[in-house]
Structure 1
Amino acid sequence: MSETTLRPPERAATTTEDPADPAPRRRARWRGALLRLHFYAGVFIGPFILIAALTGTAYALTPQLEAWLYHDELTATSPHDPLPLAEQVHAAQQVVAGAPLHAVRPAPEPGATTRVLFADPSLGASEFRTVFVDPGDGTVTGDLTTYGTSGVLPLRMTLDQLHRNLLLGEPGRIYSELAASWLWVVALAGVTLWAARRKRNRTRRRDPAPARATATRRHSRLGIAMLGGALLLSATGLTWSAYAGANIAELRTAAGWSTPEVDTSAAHREQDPHAEHRGADGDSVPGDTAAPAPSDDATVETVLAAARGAGIDASTIEIAVPERPGDAWTVSEIDRSWPTQVDTVAVDGATGEVTDRVRFADYPLGAKLARWGIDLHMGTLFGWPNQVALAAVGAGLTAVTVLGYRLWWQRRPGRAGFGRPVSRGQWRGLPRWALVAAGATAAAIGLLTPLFGLSLLVFVVVDVLIGRLAALRRRRLSHTG
């Protein structure tokens, strides 16, 4: 919501412009149409933006709290040299009673524990049962559920899901996608209206209401300060949204900007003569005599040594077990800070041969930008300064939204009800080419971000219906009068 919602466009103004000149009237129509869009978007999408800002701020500020809360699980106290990684994995396997091994994250530094991740069908997508092992003596220090590549622990996992989908699962993602889809629209519309208001104030008197004028200045100045952060959060948030994210992924693929992945099936195809006779899901079919995969806890040592020899030198890595027997293991750098370390290699667990590799330096530019944008959005790219910046943007967006609602409340007629929107029909005075261009632009954006397009269509339809009902009511009153 913009400060310009304080004045209906029909209000008289002191101006030096020529009344015969159509340009000022056309500019007023443009401003009125944009203001009406900004008003409705702010009123109805504001709650989604507010929730996303609050939950995002909480997520950005919790890494240190999480480190304190889960200190026992994360801290290794044994003074001995680390045991072989296979022994650490074996110690974790004694706790989970036969659960399939998913991945291993060796202790990244002295004093830290090793994480051994197990698949658990009772958990949600990207969630793993994680056993924490002291590398020095193999003592299990904890057993928690972790989430995603970042491996966040239960506190931040809950906040992440709250921010992403309000703890409602996939249906709840509609809320966050609506917020991301409209945030940039509301922000750019507000800046445009602010610029138009500054220009208009040079030739007309200021708002006589001090309280509204003060709230207007705070809303607009804070909105300008938050513009860059709002646009960045909107763009990066859309990349992993449900509907717009899928469209963006298709565009990146078409442009050759997809994130490259290692081919884990290379060793499988070369060494398994029956590879072509496997089912689509990798299960054995009659006549399949392939040998079973080596023991996971023993192979992990071979895979780690091969990866280190192939240049995987980050302290924070993940060794992932192949999904199918005969496929290659993957060893990935997962250090998302700056400079980014996300190189990956595929390793044949039977021979220790590196069968494929992907270096971050070889990523397409679009894939690099996507990686940095997501890590910036999550507060991991630059460490605590990134967290502070995200918290500041989240607090600023919260304040801008609250001030916008305050302006709406102050604009209510006769100090009763709610603030009035700008009058209808602003588009009628615009050139036809402008209407066609605006419609085409809205349609293109709506196709890319379907929830934006659908919600905009709902706004328009509801607005038209309300206008028709109001017109019918006026006619009825005039006839009865």
Structure 2
Amino acid sequence: MSDLTLPPAARTARPPAAAADLYRAVWRWHFYAGLFVLPFLVTLSLTGALYLFRDEIEAVVHADLKRVAITEGAPGVAPSAMIASALAARPGTAVKFTTPAGPGASAEITVKAADGERLAVYVDPQDGRVLGSLPDRGTVMWLVRSLHSLSFFGPVARGVIEIAAGWAILLVLTGIYLWWPRGRTGGVVTVRGTARTRVFWRDLHAVTGLGAGGILVFLAITGMPWSQVWGGQVNQWANGSNFGYPAGVRVDVPMSGRKLAEDGSTSWSLAQAQVPTSGTSHGSHGAHGSHGEAMPDSAPAAPTPFVGIDRAVARFDALGLHGGYAVNLPAGPTGVYTGSVYPDDLAAQRVVHLDAYTGEPLLDMSYADYGPMGRALEWGINVHLGQQYGLANQLVLLAACLANVLLAVSAAIMWWKRRPARAMGVPPMPRDPRVLRGLVALLAVGGLIFPLMGASLLAMLAIDRAVAHFGGAGPDRREPA
């Protein structure tokens, strides 16, 4: 950093050589962390800011599909009638029925067409009228979510989330060290100069980072569960291997081997959970028809679900599932009705599997059933999504997202103003290389915790050696401010 940002007394009183070397080393790796993270930070912040208000945005963008005019005295139609209307408009096989989230909301039926395409068909629950359809997960907010998680670009790109999160944590920790006052008064909680000067952007960057750094670390850590490597490993460790269900939940029922996540979105803690089977513990039902009548002994038949979607929904309602829950319809003779809901309030999260022949719960899970690690991570995820604490949660994270964009812009302007001619402008190497080696050893600890971040650290070390060898740091040998 330029001496021009220092008061006259500080220009003559240089810091000890060891302290200056450590500052240089931290500054250099703060630069590298920013170089990698900031492009992702801007993208994640912009898409994240939009996704915080997904319900509000979709209520406007897809109002013709998701909202209905409330008609006083309308009797409403049964789920089976709504499914029939959906299939009449969009032929295929119904695989999921989602109940209206509240008054004025439509029901959603997921239909699998003959060519394998899935459609979300929206129906007015008051009269069964079909409002229209979209490709399954075809709303504007599903696109934003896919961009935010990088799943839009495939599994390899999702690994970048883990790398970016690890480097974001490093960015904040090194930034706090660089911000530390060391006897300064300006640029600690106030911004000096004008927008024409570099010190203004340096102070704006430092003060903004001080305010948003803690939230950035929180978002990085709570975003890790979605990462490709770390998230998958921690999921297995946190939730055990007992069919993927949390500890303490009854799992002494036959399992199908099919994962709950294959049928749609589920909570992080239940990503590995298997779906149980119907009818296997009720052999007498295997010899009954769809209405329970006895079948001739000479004509054994596979069990046929006779509960029906109307009775299944009535059962889920009686069990107290939160409004807006989804019901996965039985797939095959041993399929189950699975009711699941993940509302803003964690306490109301619920997944219930019903036997398709008796209507009785096979498994009934809620947030309280998760293990301690699962509950902690689910809480973090819910806050990360802006759900747990209502509008206040959304506004705090929106401010953090805007601050992240400001950090990226101010960093770019600072670099532009200080870059040497014909050079990349990497902060100078410490005079004593042992200082840099010690810092890298500390960074390696983070690499052991987050493996992909550790691999990227090795790559960055190779780049750093190349930059130093070819003089990429440029002639800028000024003492840091």
Distance (whole Å) between structure 2 residues aligned to residue 264 and residue 216 of structure 1: 55
Deviation track 1:266-317 (CA, whole Å, cap 9, x = no partner) reads 54442369x9xxxxxxxxxxxxx7615437xx711222222233x3341221
Distance (whole Å) between structure 1 residues aligned to residue 385 and residue 398 of structure 2: 11
Deviation of 1:396 (Å):
0.5
- What is the correspondence of 1:303-318 to structure 2 with a 5 Å cutoff? 303-309=312-318, 311-318=319-326
- What is the correspondence of 1:26-425 to structure 2 with a 5 Å cutoff? 26-77=18-69, 79=71, 80-99=74-93, 101-119=94-112, 128-147=118-137, 154-165=139-150, 167-195=152-180, 198-201=181-184, 211-253=197-239, 259=269, 264-265=275-276, 267-271=278-282, 291-294=302-305, 299-309=308-318, 311-335=319-343, 337-338=344-345, 340-413=347-420, 416-417=421-422, 420-425=425-430
Deviation of 1:37 (Å):
0.6
Deviation of 1:130 (Å):
1.0
Deviation track 1:217-275 (CA, whole Å, cap 9, x = no partner) reads 111110011112201211121110222322332442469788368764254442369x9
Distance (whole Å) between structure 2 residues aligned to residue 48 and residue 424 of structure 1: 26
Deviation track 1:341-366 (CA, whole Å, cap 9, x = no partner) reads 11222211111112221122222232
Aligned to 2:252: none
Deviation track 1:440-481 (CA, whole Å, cap 9, x = no partner) reads x5444324433322221111112213333449xx9xxxxxxx
CA contact (8 A) 2:91 2:113 kept: no
Count of residue pairs brought into register by the alignment: 424
Deviation track 1:380-403 (CA, whole Å, cap 9, x = no partner) reads 333333332222111100001110
What amino acid maps onto 1:129 in structure 2?
A: L
Cα gap change, 1:111/1:397 in structure 2, threshold over 3 Å: closer, same or farther?
same
CA contact (8 A) 1:4 1:193 kept: no
Distance (whole Å) between structure 2 residues aligned to residue 6 and residue 117 of structure 1: 64
Distance (whole Å) between structure 2 residues aligned to residue 426 and residue 98 of structure 1: 71
3-state DSSP of counterpart to 1:199: coil
CA contact (8 A) 1:130 1:143 kept: yes
Cα gap change, 1:176/1:429 in structure 2, threshold over 3 Å: closer, same or farther?
closer
CA contact (8 A) 2:22 2:430 kept: no
Greater helix percent: which structure?
Answer: 1
CA contact (8 A) 2:165 2:220 kept: yes
Distance (whole Å) between structure 2 residues aligned to residue 6 and residue 163 of structure 1: 40
Question: TM-score scaled by structure 1?
Answer: 0.77
Distance (whole Å) between structure 1 residues aligned to residue 467 and residue 228 of structure 2: 31
CA contact (8 A) 1:33 1:427 kept: no
Distance (whole Å) between structure 1 residues aligned to residue 212 and residue 228 of structure 2: 26
Distance (whole Å) between structure 2 residues aligned to residue 448 and residue 120 of structure 1: 44
RMSD after superposition:
3.6
Distance (whole Å) between structure 1 residues aligned to residue 22 and residue 214 of structure 2: 24
Distance (whole Å) between structure 2 residues aligned to residue 411 and residue 373 of structure 1: 39
Cα gap change, 1:355/1:376 in structure 2, threshold over 3 Å: closer, same or farther?
same
What percentage of aligned pairs have identical amino acids?
A: 25
Bigger mean CA offset, 242-251 vs 455-464: 242-251
3-state DSSP of counterpart to 1:270: coil
What amino acid maps onto 2:123 in structure 1?
A: V
Deviation track 1:122-159 (CA, whole Å, cap 9, x = no partner) reads 789xxx52111111111001111343xxxxx5211121
3-state DSSP of counterpart to 1:104: strand
Deviation track 1:65-93 (CA, whole Å, cap 9, x = no partner) reads 32112111112336311112221122112
Cα gap change, 1:221/1:418 in structure 2, threshold over 3 Å: closer, same or farther?
farther
Gap regions ≥5 residues in structure 1: 18-23, 148-152, 276-288, 475-481
Deviation track 1:382-430 (CA, whole Å, cap 9, x = no partner) reads 33333322221111000011101111111123xx345622222466344
3-state DSSP of counterpart to 2:12: coil
Cα gap change, 1:262/1:358 in structure 2, threshold over 3 Å: closer, same or farther?
farther
CA contact (8 A) 1:102 1:118 kept: yes
Distance (whole Å) between structure 1 residues aligned to residue 470 and residue 85 of structure 2: 72
CA contact (8 A) 1:307 1:354 kept: no
Aligned to 1:464: 465
What amino acid maps onto 1:307 in structure 2?
A: F
CA contact (8 A) 1:248 1:448 kept: no
Deviation track 1:358-379 (CA, whole Å, cap 9, x = no partner) reads 1222222321222222222222
CA contact (8 A) 1:5 1:39 kept: no
Gap regions ≥5 residues in structure 2: 248-267, 287-299, 476-481
3-state DSSP of counterpart to 1:329: strand
What amino acid maps onto 1:301 in structure 2?
A: D
Bigger mean CA offset, 165-174 vs 38-47: 165-174
CA contact (8 A) 1:318 1:333 kept: yes
